[in-house]
Amino acid sequence: MAETKTTFCRICEAACGLEVTVENNRIVKVEPDRDHVVTQGYACIKGIKFGEVHHSPDRIRHPMKRVGDQWVRITWDRAFAEIGEKVKTLRKTHGPSSIAMYMGNPAAFSGTHPVFSQGFLAGIGSKNFFSAGSQDCNNKFAVTTRMYGSPAIQPIPDVDASGCMIIVGSNPAISQMSFVSMPRSIERIRAVEQRGGKVYWINPRKTESARNLGEQVFIRPDTDVFFLLSFLNELIATGGVDQAKVRKYMKNYEAAERIAKQWPAEQTEKITGIPAEKLREVVRAYRTAKGAALYCSTGLNMAANSTLAYWVLNTINAVSGNLDKRGGMLVSKGLVDLPRLGKMAGVGKPSRRRSRIGGFEPVMDSYPAGILPDEILTPGKGQIRALFVSAGNPLLSCPNGARMEEALKKLELIVSVDMFRNETGNLAHYILPGLSFFERPDLPMPANGFQPIPYLQWTDAVVEPDGEQRDEWWIYTELARACGIDIFGVKPVQRYFNLNRLVSKIPFVGDRIGFKAEMSMNALVLASRQVTPGDLKRKPHGVLLKPNPENVFLGKGVLTDDGKIDLAPPEFVEESRKLVRDYADELAGRDKLKLISKRERFTHNSWMHNIGEFVKGERKTNYLYMHPEDARRAELEDGDIAEIRSATATVSAPVKITDEMMPRVVALPHGWGHGKADGLSIAKDTTGANANLLAADGPDSLERFAGMAHLNGIAVDVRRSRQPMAEAG
């Protein structure tokens, strides 16, 4: 009999409420949850269609081992035994650092997956942890570690009370917003205008968000930091600095002011493309609003100088008085005070540790994925010889996939913990099947601390696995046992899980007293002192928590040693000297084409191309979006196949001509290029090109502080292809 269950989507931070109809353990319908306390009947097509991902015939349902070029089913016990033996040998012969982990974006949307996967690596004793963060967000953690004393402090726009929103490099109509859990984001941003406020979209492309809302301001890729420095310059010149707040709660204002004064709008307009008068208008709107929010997302994060740009952005919000202010940027404590707890556990200070290749500081404990090929290919102590890939696909999502492939093929062991055999999984030795979000009990953890309207929701698993798929906490505790290590590096914890293993095999008893993911999450809920696990079970559509207050961060929540916001951390000041050279390079290259990425309604990074409906007809490929002037210059017409050439690689894609693009900027959606994915029966027939092949890897190509890959703003040449699409793509 059909039954309707309440849950929430775990694809992006919006965490939209869903109603799922289940019949005989099959998901037959997914609809937005109209009664959800925040999402109120909103969910996008990706969440609504996730049942097809869940039930895909391509899902890995049993542990698999590659034997030659064949994949064979093996038992969990055999998989653990073989992997365990190999890990023991590598650890003994080459040391713990020879074993590394890459964690993909989906893992972050589970309450337990990241905790236990990193706990496994900690037990191994290796610091070689890599994540997708260096593709899209680690610059944010690097900045707030230095300015506020914790990577976990990330101010969020108080959109529902804001009088002005300036949004840099974000397209919420297609992908909601990052680092803000804001479902129905367009509706809520539109309300800013309806209240008489202003909205500006700063972007090299007039996105779907800007079509009928706010004002588009085109900006040349890679120049965000110059725009923001001129913004700060103008704010200072027009008396927009709240000097009393600066004196009381911040330090090093003079150093930040000195840098901003070097970049007047008349100078930066030559490279940003934003006329000085337009910049002044934007600053005026921001300065005169009762509460104003300057926010950025992946467009800025994936471009050059992303750490410096995010630093200046935070400086503007702080010195203007908009930080910790209603309608401006608020700091949400979330369920528990994670920044303070992290600080007590020693997280929050810049680390002294450095990567073997390139000398990068870890951000959120992870090194840049752009050095992973070098870490594998460069001989010496600490060379990586084995890789655990947890819900990730570095071949498609990291820069220079061709070099990544060359490196991965040299590894002695690759273990992929995943729902599918993706391109990276094809190179693995073992694939261990993890759960889909419909099979997992959870809290919306990634949304915690990022919610303009704080709430909490509990979900049970809505269906049981239909094969031998297991929760990632179980996979990693079992791997730890098999490898002869202690999860988290803590012996009593591993002993507990070894005992749990025995208990769970006892009929009737195991189910009652064995470890469950809910146990750790219930502890967190109780620690919040705002709500109990019982409340959450009784209210399946979520429970509203206390609203985010203003005036709780400055002087009270800043976790630097002296409790003041550092407006000019010395490393950033030093790095800002290189902007003179970058400015000259931008000026010299302003007639060259630059490539940016683009989000699409039916895709989410590399994961959604295995749904038939999402890739049918026109949607079977990605397109190169070009301004009419640029297309004319390259003698390309709509539908022609273009060859896109960077210093790293060449790919091909059909052209779409649109004046939504800024001249001299082309866009190619990322996450495509599944030609070799024979484990993804639908995606492998798509013809899209992998945009990230065009990006460079290696330490000299990465942003200095957070090791961010340069995925937006790649210098390219575009010409008509002489090959037919099948060969060119």
- Please name the residue that has the structure tokens 């479902």: 183
Contacts of 254 (CB under 8 A, 6+ apart): none
Choose the binding region for ligand SF4 from 38-46, 205-213, 238-246, 577-585 (rule: CB under 6 A). Answer: 38-46
Choose the binding region for ligand SF4 from 9-17, 200-208, 462-470, 557-565 (rule: CB under 6 A). Answer: 9-17
Helices within 421-469 (DSSP H only): 423-426
**In whole angstroms, how close is the CB of 43 to ligand SF4 at the nearest point?**
4
Name which of 447 and 653 has its Cβ closer to ligand SF4: 447
Name which of 363 and 447 has its Cβ closer to ligand SF4: 447
Is 14 near ligand SF4 (CB under 6 A)? yes
Name which of 32 and 729 has its Cβ closer to ligand SF4: 32
SS3 at position 535: helix
For residue 415, give the nearest of 675, 84, 72 by alpha carbon: 84
**In whole angstroms, how close is the CB of 604 to ligand SF4 at the nearest point?**
6
Contacting residue, 9, 60, 318, 554, with ligand SF4 by CB under 6 A:
9
Name which of 183 and 729 has its Cβ closer to ligand SF4: 183
Name which of 9 and 20 has its Cβ closer to ligand SF4: 9
**In whole angstroms, how close is the CB of 522 to ligand SF4 at the nearest point?**
23
Is 364 near ligand SF4 (CB under 6 A)? no
**In whole angstroms, how close is the CB of 611 to ligand SF4 at the nearest point?**
13
Contacts of 664 (CB under 8 A, 6+ apart): 220, 590, 591, 592, 593, 594, 627, 630
For residue 103, give the nearest of 359, 469, 366, 353 by alpha carbon: 366
Contacting residue, 11, 285, 428, 487, with ligand SF4 by CB under 6 A:
11
Name which of 47 and 151 has its Cβ closer to ligand SF4: 47
For residue 120, give the nearest of 587, 457, 486, 400 by alpha carbon: 486
Q: What are phi and psi of 556, to 5 degrees?
A: -125, -40
**In whole angstroms, how close is the CB of 451 to ligand SF4 at the nearest point?**
13
Name which of 18 and 376 has its Cβ closer to ligand SF4: 18
Contacts of 729 (CB under 8 A, 6+ apart): 621, 651, 652, 653, 673, 675, 687, 688, 689
Residue 573 burial (CB count, 10 A): 17
Each residue 172-211 as x (binds ligand SF4 by CB under 6 A) or -, in order, gives ----x------x----------------------------
Contact 180, 13 (CB under 8 A): yes
Name which of 9 and 294 has its Cβ closer to ligand SF4: 9
Name which of 174 and 483 has its Cβ closer to ligand SF4: 174
Ranked by CB distance to ligand SF4, the top (closest) residue is: 47
Q: Which residues of 264-275 are buried (b: 16+ CB within 10 A; e: fewer)?
A: bbebbbebbbbe
Name which of 14 and 480 has its Cβ closer to ligand SF4: 14
The span from the CA of 715 to the CA of 590, in Å, is: 10
The span from the CA of 694 to the CA of 407, in Å, is: 17
Name which of 9 and 653 has its Cβ closer to ligand SF4: 9
**In whole angstroms, how close is the CB of 417 to ligand SF4 at the nearest point?**
22
Each residue 554-593 as x (binds ligand SF4 by CB under 6 A) or -, in order, gives ----------------------------------------
The span from the CA of 246 to the CA of 235, in Å, is: 14
For residue 300, give the nearest of 718, 668, 703 by alpha carbon: 703
Each residue 39-78 as x (binds ligand SF4 by CB under 6 A) or -, in order, gives ----xx-xx-------------------------------
DSSP state of 381: T
Name which of 105 and 597 has its Cβ closer to ligand SF4: 105
**In whole angstroms, how close is the CB of 45 to ligand SF4 at the nearest point?**
7
- Tokens describing residue 525: 């809920």
**In whole angstroms, how close is the CB of 115 to ligand SF4 at the nearest point?**
21
Is 108 near ligand SF4 (CB under 6 A)? no
For residue 176, give the nearest of 161, 158, 188, 163 by alpha carbon: 188
Contacting residue, 16, 428, 696, 716, with ligand SF4 by CB under 6 A:
16
**In whole angstroms, how close is the CB of 16 to ligand SF4 at the nearest point?**
3
Contacting residue, 6, 15, 177, 630, with ligand SF4 by CB under 6 A:
15
- Tokens describing residue 304: 């050059």
- Which residues is 389 bridged to in the sheet? 102, 416
Half-sphere exposure in the Cβ direction for 201 (13 Å, CA): 24
> Count of residues binding ligand SF4 (CB under 6 A)?
12
**Which segments within 585-707 are labelled E, that is strand?**
593-596, 624-626, 641-645, 650-657, 665-667
Site of interaction with ligand SF4 (CB under 6 A): 9, 11-12, 14-16, 43-44, 46-47, 176, 183
